[in-house]
Amino acid sequence: MIEVHGLSKHYGDRVAVDDLTFTIKPGTVTGFLGPNGAGKSTTMRLILGLDRPTGGTATVNGKRYRDLAAPLHEVGALLEARAVHTGRSGYNHLLALAQTHGIPRSRVGEVIELVGLESVARKRVGGFSLGMGQRLGVAAALLGDPATVVLDEPANGLDPEGIRWIRNLLKGLAAEGRTVFLSSHLMSEMEQTADHLIVIGRGRLIADTDVASFVARASSGAPVRVRSPQLPALADAVKSAGGSSESLEDGALQVFALTSEQIGEIAAAQQLVLHELTPMQVSLEDAFMDITKESVEYQHADTSPTDVAMPISASITGAEQ
């Protein structure tokens, strides 16, 4: 259980995290989403006691991370930035971490096997590939067999094989009933693994919802795809019913502002034949883009005109530096 209440972090004038409140329930996989620079990493660092909050609290199982007697047993974390001395071997890195808690050497061997690093564990980390480094990070996170795992952009920079490995790992962790808190700036991975989503933009909470309602929220007003041998007549009927439409390249019609039910009824009333009637579901990716875009525009409403004129992506990535 991770509880974040009124959490804020300012770096000088820059507000990285702004009054965030959310709860990660035990036994769920929660996706933490937001564009680059939205404050995801900072929020995770605040939860893990690496950064001091400017305001508010972040607790793990009811305690601040700094007050945990055995933190590695409660939360395992994989940070986005590397956190390993390059001159040490993977085995010795894990051993040194294990010794702070009195975790036995046998467990070090276990996690090395778990992430498939047996062949390189005695080599210096400096020579590791990105994928191997990520596996070592996961081994460190699982060292204390924690019930909660926090992962910051675990798929970043990995090749397809590495991404598949991370995906299977997440499924495995979830299947074991662990609480997983996973950040990403991409939606595609979340679609398959997350139960719940926390979306932030510019350090503020945008959505705290389950995946289905997140998609539904963005899908309201989504178009309906229609195929019919009597398309021109159907297009006229749609128009007179208050909808609009446009022809697609494959000969189908895309109808806006009407539900599939309404279109079906219109077609029946006009005795038009339908070959297809498909409500278009917005993908999680589109829903995410849509909702974060809204938030950024809202944010701009209360800033100066020069800010509004600045391209959105530039202002967000600029803030991260």
- Where along the sequence are the contacts to another protein (CB under 8 A)? 25-29, 45, 48-52, 65-66, 68-73, 77, 79, 81-89, 92-93, 95-97, 99-103, 140, 144-145, 147, 174-178, 195, 210
CA-based nearest residue to 212, from 284, 285, 295, 286: 284
Closer to another protein by Cβ: residue 1 or 277: 1
Closer to another protein by Cβ: residue 14 or 66: 66
Closer to another protein by Cβ: residue 48 or 316: 48
The pair of three-digit structure tokens given for residue 74, joined into one six-digit string: 């409660």
CA-based nearest residue to 171, from 191, 193, 150, 189: 193
Closer to another protein by Cβ: residue 158 or 173: 173
Whether the CB-CB separation of 186 and 36 falls below 8 Å is answered with no
Q: How far apart are the first and last CA of the chain?
A: 31
Least distance in Å: CB of 173 to another protein? 10
Least distance in Å: CB of 251 to another protein? 41
101 phi and psi angles, rounded to 5 deg: -110, 0
CA-based nearest residue to 149, from 164, 137, 133, 161: 137
Closer to another protein by Cβ: residue 14 or 85: 85
The pair of three-digit structure tokens given for residue 41, joined into one six-digit string: 């990493």
Least distance in Å: CB of 287 to another protein? 20
Least distance in Å: CB of 206 to another protein? 22
Least distance in Å: CB of 98 to another protein? 8
Buried b (16+ CB within 10 A) or exposed e, 129-163: eebbbbbbbbbbbbbbebbbbbbbbbbbebeeebb
Least distance in Å: CB of 126 to another protein? 9
Residue 280 CB partners (closer than 8 Å, separation 6+): 222, 223, 224, 225, 254
Closer to another protein by Cβ: residue 102 or 305: 102
CA–CA distance, 237 with 230 (Å, rounded to integer)? 11
Residue length, the chain?
321
Least distance in Å: CB of 136 to another protein? 10
Closer to another protein by Cβ: residue 212 or 314: 212
